[in-house]
Homo-oligomer: A and B are copies of this chain.
Amino acid sequence: MRFFSDNAAPAHPRVLEAIAAANRLDTAYDGDDWSRRLDGAFSDLFGTEVRAFWVTTGTAANCLALAALCPPYRAILCHKDSHIEVDEAGAPGFFTGGAKLILLDGDGAKITLHAVAAACEAIRNDVHQVQPAAISITNATEYGLVYRATEVARLGEFAKERGLALHMDGARIANALATTGETLADVTWRAGVEAMSFGFVKNGGLNAECLVLFRTELADEIAVRRKRAGHLLSKGRYLAAQILAMLEDDLWLDNARAANAGARKVAAAAHDRLVYPVEANEIFLRVTDEEGERLRAQGFDFYEWGPDQIRLVTSWDQQGEALDRLASAIAALG
């Protein structure tokens, strides 16, 4: 039973059906019927005019946005454990042409206004030091914590005052909102977010993610950068169709709720083993090597996160028995 990563899960049947339905002659690139509906669909979803660009990875979505928000000679403030710093092979440096990531501390991979402000204060305003251009946050974070709209808004206000852009890595934005019940609008553009990646693949998608752009005047630049990075697929309709299927009847939210429910079930069994509160679909547990072995022996697969620490991730499709057995096995560790 795999709790290694939500990337391992299959795609939702409605996503596959959408791909099959898109399998007919249409215009290449993003001129097709499906792709042309994306801007409207996301504008409706967010309650404001946005531009939406399909891509195939969160890395591409994040870094295309960051490249448009931060020139090569400036910096992006982010958490030291953020995906863009730790797990994208230096992609921000590649896409931006050498911009710097300034790394911040913060519990559970959340950054606070205090940490951001302190980092800005520490930079002399001269040509010798790299000046910040953007803040990037991840919601839900790499440790499964969630930013509330008010938290984002505080960062957004600071960003605005300082002339910084605000970016959100929303690889698990669905899981975040499934927990808070807040609206997409409140936690993004109303809070000052200018561009975000909207994750679908971890949440039942097949291979389509979305870059959502609130600062729409950057759309032409993003479109060119996408092409230039080899991310303008020639048959884009198969990506757009997936995304539209995920949006239809709020499948994205239903899937996230299912994954989160699984995580809560496991968390409930974990008691004081929890390293962080479980606010999305990731569970970090204190588990000794020996205990970890016992879990593996029962067929559970997961990620060794650090010394005596494991990460489990639940998926949209994991319900019922497997989760019950996992919860029992964890409870049985004592």
Contacts and interface: CB of A to CB of B under 8 A. Distances in A.
Contact of A227 (B88, B226, B230, B231): B88
Contacts of A29: 7
Contact of A98 (B11, B86, B94, B129): B94
A7 B86 CA distance: 36
Given A57-B230, A224-B127, A93 B88 contact: no
User: Which of A58, A61, A206 has the most CB atoms of chain B within a 10 A radius of its CB?
Assistant: A206
A9 interface: yes
**Central interface residue in A55, A75, A93, A221, by most chain B CB within 10 Å:** A93
A312 interface: no
A25 B8 contact: yes
A91 B231 CA distance: 10
Interface string A80-118: 000000111111011111111101000000000000000
Nearest to A13: B23
B98 A73 contact: no
A202 B28 CA distance: 10
B8 A232 contact: no
Contacts of A206: 19, 23, 235, 238
Contact of A128 (B88, B101, B229): B88
A30 to B, nearest CB: 9
B201 A235 contact: yes
Contact of A89 (B24, B73, B234): B73
Contacts of A64: 230
A5 interface: yes
A11 B20 CA distance: 9
A56 interface: yes
Contacts of A97: 72, 94, 97-98
A40 interface: no
Interface string A1-34: 0101101111100001001100111111100000
Contacts of A94: 72-73, 97-98, 228-229
A88 B130 CA distance: 8
Instruction: Give the top 6 A-B pairs by smallest Cβ distance, nearest first.
Output: A93-B98, A60-B230, A7-B28, A59-B230, A97-B97, A7-B234
9 contacts: A7-B29, A59-B227, A60-B229, A72-B72, A90-B130, A91-B227, A103-B103, A127-B223, A127-B226
Interface of A: 2, 4-5, 7-11, 16, 19-20, 23-29, 55-61, 63-64, 71-75, 86-91, 93-101, 103, 127-131, 201-202, 206-207, 221, 223-235, 238-239
